Chain A
Amino acid sequence: MKKKRSWRKMDNSAKIFPISGNRKYSTVFRYSVVLHDMIDPDMLQKAVYKALIKYKKFNVRMRAGLFWYYLEDNPQKPVVSEEITYPCKYIDPRMNNDYLFKVTYYKNKINIDIFHSLTDGNGGMIFFKEIVYSYLELAHPELLDNQERQEKIEEIDYDVKDSYIENFDKKAKSPGKSHRAYLLKGKEIRLGAVSAIHQIINNEQLKQECSKYDISVTKYLTAVLIYSIYKANYLKYVGNKKAKKPIKVCIPVNLKNYFKSKTMSNFFSYVNITADINKLAVFDRVVEIVKDEFDSKLNEEELTKTMAMTVRIGHNFMISVLPLFIKKALLKIGYRYIQKYMTITFSNVGRIGMIGDYQKYIDYFLLLIAPENIEKIKCSGCTFENKMIFTFTSILRDSDIEKYFYDFLRNRGIEVQIESNEVNEFKI
């Protein structure tokens, strides 16, 4: 008799990704960890199995229903392979035993590429940390005695409920009307290549610099990013002409910091930091703009409004009753239109904490987000010990913004090291 497989609906955000995504827009993000020792593929395979036992909800595959995609238990084993292609590429289910995540390794680095329908950056990080913990325990069995780790395993408590629905406020108004953003200009790299440039920043020095402006690291780096876009892209391609469209930076926000939730499904929202290009000539002015934007938009009231809007779209009766193939066609067009409201995305997951004894085996973590045809560069950041790694993933052929960003920080006396996949040249 055929075994009955359990299944679940996708959360409000998750169901949009497979409809809007394709080979060109993968909606995949990647976590990597760079260890001090070379990776043992067999141990990594075992570590992934072990992590999946603790986080069974990741053991799923995606299936198409008549109206929406859904997730069902995956009877196959996950694939672990050597990294051979560019980061954050489309995960082909046929090549990956239908899993929505893909674990790869290269020399001393472990990667996990995750399709956004499975989870968000926060859930992905929790699962990836479990793989890293399990791997290190297999490689260094003495770690198995770690008391703190045992307590953390016992504390694992999560669900996959749709927290958007649970926290949806029916009375909340939708956010005000938005306007189109300045889109990055420049020639694209052909044949699907993706450039990844990591700027490994001295975190102590960065925090000192932020304290001069009395702002957080995320706000400061957002300001530097906007200033770099203005100097290295806008002035290069448009010149000093008066601009109508502002630079808009989309900042994803982990809603678990604002609302009660234990979910491992998607539960994030975003704020759009808008900067009028005609006011960006001086960096201090950019900092003021960014500060004001964050203060006015990053609060529970505004996030509730954005969340309410996305829930209303996801549960719109007219959209819901459309067959999936019609939804796909309509949403693809709609999504391309919506994307024109953002210049760039910057997602900072902050500090990635690991238990003390495990830290000595780790050099640093990386987070990467897939760029796309309209948002040609995506930025991400994470911090491990004294290293803040700011990553540019790009499909642009030049790396002017990345270079300006690097020079800016260096000129402020902050140490920055570069790691990249060498798709684009980056001369220091």
Chain B
Amino acid sequence: MIYPKRLNSRNGELAIKIVEISVLTISIILLIINRIVTPNLYWSHLSIAGMVYALIAASYSIRNGRSIAGHVVVHSILASLITIYIDYRLGFIGWSLTIAVPIIIMVANATMFTITIFTYKHYGRNAANQLFTLLFSIIANIVIFQQMHSYSILAIIAMGISSVNFLLSIILCFRDLKEEVIKKFNI
């Protein structure tokens, strides 16, 4: 073998189709939930726009062989803050914490998972960013519990997905990850 292992075109096409179908399915579900629960508030449009943005960003990253996992974390946090702000300005019903933030975390995980499949050489770096996403999802759950005095099923699912994603990365690249954690947390 004279070339590094890359995903072949057939498997790549399959992965792209899975991601596209997932985004489409989630979008439809979100639209339905939005229509039933809060028909006057179009929060689902924001989430769908976020997913499309994530898809474009992941596609750019893979096409140009760059890891944008770090950007995904930063963008997820910023998007979450924006949705919380919008919710707050509209009288704070709590949809930002119970629905929007968990969906953002799920999309971030899906994006990072896709990036990891295509740019597997960056496992180490991706894993460190997945750790940040996991921490972010834990914090989101704590905030929800403190602010709303209840659990959000979506937030718990998002935390579960983050944990599985992070665990997968640990299994795949324990050595790289250890180095990355030491590097990122050095004082």
Evaluate contact between A84 and B12: CB separation under 8 angstroms.
no
Query: Which of B5, B8, B12, B121 is within 8 Å of A191, CB to CB?
Result: B12
Instruction: Establish whether residues B9 and A189, one from each chain, have CB atoms under 8 Å apart when the complex forms.
Output: yes
- Contact assessment for A419 and B2 in the assembled complex, using a CB-CB cutoff below 8 Å: yes
Docked complex Cα distance between A84 and B59 (Å): 17
B81 contacts A by Cβ under 8 Å: no
Chain A 102-124 residues near chain B, CB threshold 8 A: 106-109
Q: Please encode chain B, from 1 to 19, with 1 for each CB lying within 8 Å of some chain A CB and 0 for all others.
A: 1111111111011001000
**A422, B63: Cβ atoms closer than 8 Å:** no
Bound Cα distance A420, B118 (Å): 18
C-alpha spacing A106/B13, complex, angstroms:
26
By a CB distance below 8 angstroms, the chain B residues around A61 are none
Residue of A nearest to B2 (CB): A109
Flag if B9 contacts A192 (CB, 8 Å). Answer: no
Stretch at the interface among A51-59, A85-93, A169-177: A85-93
User: Known contacts A23-B63, A84-B65, A84-B121; is A34 also within 8 Å of B2 by CB?
Assistant: yes
**Assembly CA distance A251 to B143 (angstroms):** 66
Chain B 61-100 per-residue mask, 1 if CB under 8 angstroms from chain A, else 0: 0111100000000000000000000000000000000000
* B8 engages A422 (CB within 8 Å): yes
Residues of A within 8 A of B4 (CB): 82-84, 106
Residues of A within 8 A of B1 (CB): 107, 422
Cβ-defined contact, A424 with B9, below 8 A: yes
CB distance from B50 to the nearest CB of A (A): 21
With A23-B63, A23-B64 already in contact, the answer to whether A190 and B13 are too (CB < 8 A) is yes
**Chain A contacts of B9 at CB under 8 A?**
189, 193, 195, 397, 423-424
Q: Does A284 contact B (CB under 8 A)?
A: no
Interface centre among B1, B9, B10, B65 (most CB of A within 10 A): B9
Cross-chain contact A421 with B12 (CB below 8 angstroms): no
Q: Does A370 contact B (CB under 8 A)?
A: no
B6→A106 contact, CB < 8 A? no
Q: Which of B100-139 contact A (CB under 8 A)?
A: 118, 121
Which of B6, B63, B65, B121 is A423 in contact with, Cβ under 8 Å?
Answer: B6
Q: Which residues of A388-428 are within 8 A (CB) of B?
A: 397, 419-425
- The answer to whether A420 and B12 have CB atoms under 8 Å apart is no
Chain A 184-211 per-residue mask, 1 if CB under 8 angstroms from chain B, else 0: 0000011111011000000000000000
Query: Judging by beta carbons under 8 Å apart, are A191 and B62 in contact?
Result: yes
Given the complex, which residues of A lie within 8 Å of B62, measured CB to CB? 191-192
Q: How far is the CA of A397 from the CA of B6 in the complex (A)?
A: 15
Please determine whether A191 and B3 come into contact, CB atoms closer than 8 angstroms: no
Tell me whether B3 and A421 are in contact (CB under 8 A): yes
State in angstroms the CA–CA spacing of A192 and B12 once bound together: 11
Q: Which of B1-54 contact A (CB under 8 A)?
A: 1-10, 12-13, 16
| Given A84-B121, A191-B59, A193-B12: A421 and B6 interface contact (C-beta under 8 Å) | yes
Find out whether the CB atom of A107 lies under 8 angstroms from the CB atom of B13: no
> Which residues on B sit within 8 Å (CB–CB) of A421?
3, 6
In the complex the two chains form, what is the Cα distance from A34 to B4 in whole Å? 14
A82 contacts which chain B residues (CB < 8 A)? 4
From residue A111, how far is it (CB to closest CB) to chain B in Å?
10
Q: B121: which A residues are within 8 A, CB to CB?
A: 84
Residue of A nearest to B16 (CB): A190
Q: Nearest Cβ in chain A — how far from B110, in angstroms? A: 16
Q: Which residue of A lies closest to B9 (CB)?
A: A189
Chain A residue contacts of B65, Cβ below 8 A? 84-86, 89
| Chain A residues with CB below 8 A from B13, complex form | 189-190, 397
CB neighbours (8 Å) of A420 from chain B are 3
Q: Chain A, 72-84, contact with B by CB distance < 8 Å: what is the 0/1 string? A: 0000000000111
In the complex, what distance in Å separates the CA atom of A92 from the CA atom of B60?
14
**With the chains together, A405 CA to B64 CA distance in Å?**
31
Report the bound CA distance from A246 to B46 in whole Å: 51
* Cα of A323 to Cα of B118 in the assembled complex, Å: 40
Residues in A whose Cβ lies below 8 Å from that of B10: 425
**A195-B9, A424-B8, A425-B8 known; A106 vs B63 contact (CB < 8 Å):** no
Contact of A193 among B2, B5, B6, B59 (CB under 8 A): B6
Kindly state the separation between the CA atoms of A85 and B59 in the bound complex, as whole angstroms.
Answer: 15
What is the bound-complex CA distance between A187 and B167, given in angstroms? Answer: 36
- A237 to chain B: closest CB distance in Å? 18
A422 CB contacts on chain B under 8 angstroms: 1, 3, 5-6, 8
**B6, B7, B13, most chain A CB atoms within 10 A:** B6
**Can you report 6 A-B residue pairs in the complex whose CB atoms are below 8 A from each other?**
A83-B3, A83-B4, A84-B65, A92-B64, A108-B2, A422-B5
Residues of chain A at the chain B interface (Cβ within 8 Å): 23, 32, 34, 82-87, 89-90, 92, 106-109, 189-193, 195-196, 397, 419-425
